[in-house]
Amino acid sequence: MTKIGRFTAASLVLSLMTLGSFAVADAQDKIDWQKGPVKVDIDSYAEIDVPQGYVFTGKEGTKKAMKLMGNLLTNKEVGMIAPASLLDPKAKDKPWFVVFEYDPIGYVKDDEKDAIDADGLLKTFRENNRRANTERAKQGLQVLEVAGWAVKPHYDEQTHNLEWGLDLKEKQGEADMGNTVNYEVRLLGRNGVMSSTLVLSKEDLDTILPDFRKLLKSCEFNSGLRYAEFKQGDKIAQYGLTALIGGGAVAVAAKSGLLKNLWKILVAAAVGVGALMKRLWGKKE
């Protein structure tokens, strides 16, 4: 069974995830799922409405799900939402899920909202990823190609959400194993950032993205933690919107050359969807 992972480092905000395979019995027995419709707390930071046909699990359940899928942990996980069909081995729906993480980095100023260099960021991602692939190959991991932006970075001044989608291609030797998308939304708060990552196959993006955005409309920071409630004296993040897209890589790296050390961290990622549909309901490892 191919393992599909994500990478992390102590100071890293950026993470790449893909759909992984796990036994449904484990997902049902070992994880506490709340079925919609229900309003749930995302740890102590925010609330979100879980509609009919969806399931939610909190911090510990999310960590268990990530491990069952062969993913590494950032230890910032605070929640996960997925269609209930993810737990049904007979379901014909394509699998996808949303992972929430919270990072108490402080108040992120949005003064870069009109100066996000999408082309420059993409070039940096690709350059660092090429170096990382050399190391991946040495370790026998899948080669990951940054195909481009599935959706270019953009900031919504009304919601204080920063969004983008990265198109990732997995290769094994010369074989193209398909594309996956990490669609990222950073919800800015008074004391930190709530990350929500939608993980799905590229071909399903147009279909599922509207559902994802509808889910996020009901996600709101708790009173006292909202972006508009910032007060003088609150902690200010050491980096801005551009570095959030780049992963905040090594926190303040944007000030001294954006993501110049990212390739070292990318080596830890083994990402790809490969023959996911054949493996999703496979044997427990």
In the chain, the percentage of residues whose pLDDT exceeds 70 is 70
User: What are the pLDDT digits (tens) for 165-224?
Assistant: 988 887 666 666 678 788 999 999 999 999 998 988 888 999 999 999 999 999 999 999
User: Which of 168, 245, 159, 165 shows the shortest CA–CA distance to 205?
Assistant: 165
Domains of the chain: 24-279 (3.40.1000.10)
* H or E segment to which residue 29 belongs: helix 24-29
Residue 43's nearest CA partner among 182, 160, 192, 185 is 192
Confidence check: pLDDT of 265 > 60: no
pTM for the whole thing? 0.78
pLDDT: which is higher, 121 or 255: 121
pLDDT at 251 over 60: no
| CA distance linking residue 218 with residue 221, whole number of Å | 10
Kindly give, in sequence order, each residue whose CB lies less than 8 Å from that of residue 107, ignoring residues fewer than 6 positions away: 188, 189, 190, 191, 227, 230, 234, 235, 236, 237
- Confidence band, pLDDT 50/70/90 cuts, at residue 136: low
Predicted confidence band at 87 (pLDDT cuts at 50, 70, 90)?
A: confident
Q: Is 23 left (phi over 0), alpha (psi -120 to 50) or beta?
A: beta
- Sort residue 222 into left (φ over 0), alpha (ψ -120 to 50) or beta: beta
Q: How confident is the model at residue 71 (pLDDT cuts 50, 70, 90)?
A: low
Listed residue (182, 185, 177) closest to 167, CA to CA:
182
Mean pLDDT for 2-20 is 35
Segment 16-58, tens digit of pLDDT: 454 555 555 556 778 999 999 999 999 999 999 999 999 999 9
Q: What is the pLDDT of residue 152?
A: 95
